[in-house]
């Protein structure tokens, strides 16, 4: 029934329409701190729906935190974990001082399912479908891999030119409607309030990753800071249930992957931080993670997120680091 979002939601997986209802119910329980948002539409016209929430100062007054889940349709645990974040942060806002401090500091945009067409297909036809449902001219195979389609370092190693491949990069950079919508939304958020943290949630492999995916021969200028944060997040995750995550740049930690959202956010949108996480497990169940692992997955992932939110450098600290690095470079030269 409407208005009844509660912790029992995380006891099982759910049909797509029920996810939309859950977000609506959750928002209705916290009307002063939350609103439903969309970041555009999918190929088949499904709204890419999320929930936005904020604390003291109101919406738009703080730097943004944006989470994407289930860009790969079969990764159901990602949608549940992103919703676990939303539920826990909203329900704890008035009772937990540590949560209130985080929600007051940032403006959150959480999108549990950014590939709704593919997600629906996993529920009706093929549980292990990965891509969206886009047609490619001259091919009978459907689907573009949204996370190889972002218009930065597109068509490089780790993406396929074969429309039948799981990692097909599309016919042109950013030609997936979902990619266009998501990239436009991220640029808009960055321009209007700043993008402090972007995270793309996947499964499986238990990894916590930083840029870059397109190459193993380069890292961002603030890579030391990235690795400090990723290492701390992994430690925080392990402290909850003993689950071990590995961390490092995407290319060297999992595989080379051109056209990813993380590289795009880091170098094009210029968000302060962008991470990709691969949730449980390491292969026993793979994409079909049992529902009794939803809550522990959410609990440990939230611990990692809290670490990031509490330990990311402020803009002033980042600027000071940059000035110091410039001075050192001048001295060394």
User: Which secondary-structure segment (H or E) carries 66?
Assistant: strand 64-69
Orientation angle between helical segments 294-311 and 76-91, nearest 10 degrees: 60
Q: What are phi and psi of 196, to 5 degrees?
A: -80, -45
**Which element (helix H / strand E) includes 89?**
helix 76-91
- Residues with Cβ within 8 Å of 202's Cβ and at least 6 positions away in sequence, in order, are 71, 72, 75, 78, 276, 277, 278, 279
Residue from 270, 261, 278 nearest 153 by CA: 261
The three-point CA angle 107-115-214 to 5° equals: 80
Q: Sort residue 174 into left (φ over 0), alpha (ψ -120 to 50) or beta.
A: left
Q: For this structure, is 278 an active site residue? A: yes
Rounded distance between C-alpha atoms, residue 76 and residue 287, angstroms: 7
Among 75, 83, 178, 278, the active-site one is: 278
* Residue 270, both tokens: 């210029």
Q: Which residues are catalytic?
A: 278
């Amino acid at each position: 029934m409407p208005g009844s979002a509660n912790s029992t939601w995380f006891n099982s997986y759910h049909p797509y329409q029920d996810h939309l209802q859950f977000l609506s119910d959750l928002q209705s329980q916290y009307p002063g701190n939350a609103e439903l948002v969309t970041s555009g539409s999918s190929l088949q016209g499904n709204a890419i729906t999320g929930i936005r929430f904020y604390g003291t100062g109101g919406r738009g007054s703080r730097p943004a935190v944006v989470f994407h889940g289930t860009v790969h349709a079969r990764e159901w645990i990602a949608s549940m974990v992103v919703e676990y974040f939303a539920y826990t942060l909203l329900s704890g806002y008035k009772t937990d001082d540590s949560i209130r401090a985080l929600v007051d500091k940032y403006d959150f945009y959480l999108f549990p399912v950014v590939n709704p067409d593919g997600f629906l297909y996993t529920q009706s036809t093929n549980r292990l479908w990965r891509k969206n449902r886009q047609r490619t001219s001259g091919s009978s195979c459907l689907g573009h891999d949204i996370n190889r389609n972002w218009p930065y370092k597109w068509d490089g190693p780790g993406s396929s030119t074969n429309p039948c491949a799981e990692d097909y990069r599309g016919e042109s950079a950013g030609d997936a409607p979902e990619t266009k919508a998501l990239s436009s939304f991220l640029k808009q958020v960055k321009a209007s309030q700043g993008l402090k943290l972007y995270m793309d949630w996947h499964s499986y492999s238990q990894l916590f990753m930083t840029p870059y995916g397109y190459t193993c021969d380069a890292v961002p200028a603030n890579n030391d800071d990235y690795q400090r944060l990723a290492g701390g997040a992994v430690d925080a995750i392990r402290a909850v249930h003993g689950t071990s995550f590995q961390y490092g740049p995407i290319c060297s930690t999992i595989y080379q992957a051109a056209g990813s959202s993380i590289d795009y956010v880091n170098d094009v949108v210029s968000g302060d931080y962008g991470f990709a996480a691969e949730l449980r497990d390491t292969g026993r169940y793979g994409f079909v993670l049992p529902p009794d692992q939803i809550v522990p997955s959410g609990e440990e992932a939230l611990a990692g997120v809290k670490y990031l939110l509490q330990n990311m450098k402020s803009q002033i600290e980042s600027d000071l680091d940059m000035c110091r690095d410039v001075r050192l470079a001048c001295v060394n030269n």
